[in-house]
A and B are shown apart, each in its own frame.
Chain A
Amino acid sequence: MRIRTLMSAFAALVVALALSVMPAAADFKIEPLDYDFPSEVEAAAAEGKNIVIMFHLNGCPYCDKMRKRVFPHPQVNAFYSEKFYLIEVNIKGDLDVTTPEGEAMAEKDYAEKMRVRATPVILFLSKEGAEALKLTGYQDPEMFMTAGRYVSSDAFKDGTSFLDYVRAGR
């Protein structure tokens, strides 16, 4: 179950008119009610989308930078809104989550299981819920776009590492 940041047709129209005066919203970011990742993966896949998890820490300046300067970037927002849903997980948080593998635990335990120390960590899941790409640290808009293309095009499935994908300029 999820609460999405949906805009009414009215709001969408006026926001389109106001794009040049307001920061764009990150339309691909969602806030689940129950953090049941298998159901989120399934619901996203039904729409042809992948789930991205951003592990964050309160006060982490790089997490804030992602939210303020990367997610609202017009190209990022347009591409990710078409291909992904992003969910944040607090690495010190106590919320109950069901991991993509179906295990129930607190979000801080999920972060530890994923060996998250530095934040942010951005975990891209395949449409089947498997780990497709895990990136530690800040990604600028261009690198974040490249990561999105790497996952959404299934390039990770042929064994190409993300580093090689970037070096090849794909």
Chain B
Amino acid sequence: MTHGLGAGSARPQAIPAVTDTPLLELHGITKRFGDLVANDAIDLDVRPGEVHALLGENGAGKSTLMNVLYGLYSPDEGRITMDGKPLRLKSPRDAIEAGIGMVHQHFMLIPVMTVTENIVLAHEPRNGPMLDYGAARTAVRELSERYGLAVSPDARVEEIGVAQQQRVEILKALFRSARVLILDEPTAVLTPQEAGELFEVVRSLRERGTAIIFITHKLNEVLEIADRITVLRRGKAVATQPAAGATEQQLAELMVGRSVLLHVEKQPSSPGEPLLQISDLVVRDVRGLEAVRGLSLEVRAGEIVGIAGVDGNGQTELIEAITGLTSPVSGRIAVAGADITGRGARIAFDGGVGHIPEDRHRFGLVLDFTLSENLATHEYRRSPESTAGIIWPRRMATRAKALLEEFDVRGGEPQTHAGALSGGNQQKVVIAREVSGDRRVLVAAQPTRGLDVGAIEFVHRRLVAERDAGRAILLVSYELEEILSLSDRVLVMYEGRIVAEHGPDATETQLGVEMTGGGRAAAG
């Protein structure tokens, strides 16, 4: 972790590295939504040639603060200065003109347009009323060489990979002369290798004097890339400190406000009889292409099997086939010996498959249903929840109350609407429903996606507890760290097949290589 002195000789346009004069300063930013204080008198500054990490749990106020900075919200109190001069930001356009660029977590690119067109959009070099494509192309090429961000200027955005698209976003901001660049959870969509490349880009930007605000909840990244760190908790900036000397444990405690267990503590597994058996499974995706191509695997009672892989290698289709949401083309899925292949979601659940879906808002919960109703979406047709087609809301509530207590769901009564809970507590509701009763197999897809440190700890502990209770758990996650800390066995999935199997001691590097096709270089 060097402070950017390498990378050859300084170019004429490069500004000297870290100075102590802030480029951008936020003073006492307060933003209220009704009774909720999303940002409470937050001070933050970034210097040229500095990476300033903004760390915080979901709901801590990171997004609100960045939306204030990007002109999407106007703050109730406080002021923003750039080069010591006050800024009035009424819209993103004002922010862009002031030299603030933002790379959103979900890219804002136009798929059918070329890389060049996307970069120059709204600031096009013109030739009369027409776009001067040649000039635009030269400008893009020059910019990409200057910052070492390789892109193909004439490729259409829909044809290039996610990592490339992210570079296009960064170039777009630089083309608009951004001096402050906000990166919102930039590694969430990248493989470890791609993340490494991104960090190189960030370092090279830092050397050229760009001030970077790096938003993340991944502690290891913060320590790797940041110069200074500001931790937000419940709308307040609880600490701003140099990255040197900080530890993951200390940062986690600042974020959550109490001591947390970062690494899952578990005993070695003692697998029993096979509960989930999949053989020669072939599943088509929505476009009719084979996404799972002859996959076989087995999960035994009392073990967690993790599936590592880059998003889009058939994981979604595999999960849908196991949980009965889609019918496989061929192959067999059996739970404790009983065939459930292609017989629908109800049969799969009744056969013993619980499912923690990847997208909890879309597939996990009915947000406008009460918790009592959400917990009953499997059981409502059975006694005591209903008799002869008549449901008994009081009995549902009684059952819900017990489950909510058992799974420590905070801020939720049986009559609370699911949408009113925090993400972590919503996930607890999903888990409570999916493991209740006689579920032998639990399919957990990205079970901690979007959750904060405290909730992640709960979910991980609960998964281990379910393992120890003798369930077979299949964990699908795009976070290698999660796979490695939870799994008793790791399977690597690539292009619809299992390409490697490891014990719990596999390394990220090894998996990262196999995830991208075994030794072949990562795209981009």
Pair from one complex: no
Chain B residues with a Cβ under 8 A of chain A? none
Chain A residues with a Cβ under 8 A of chain B? none
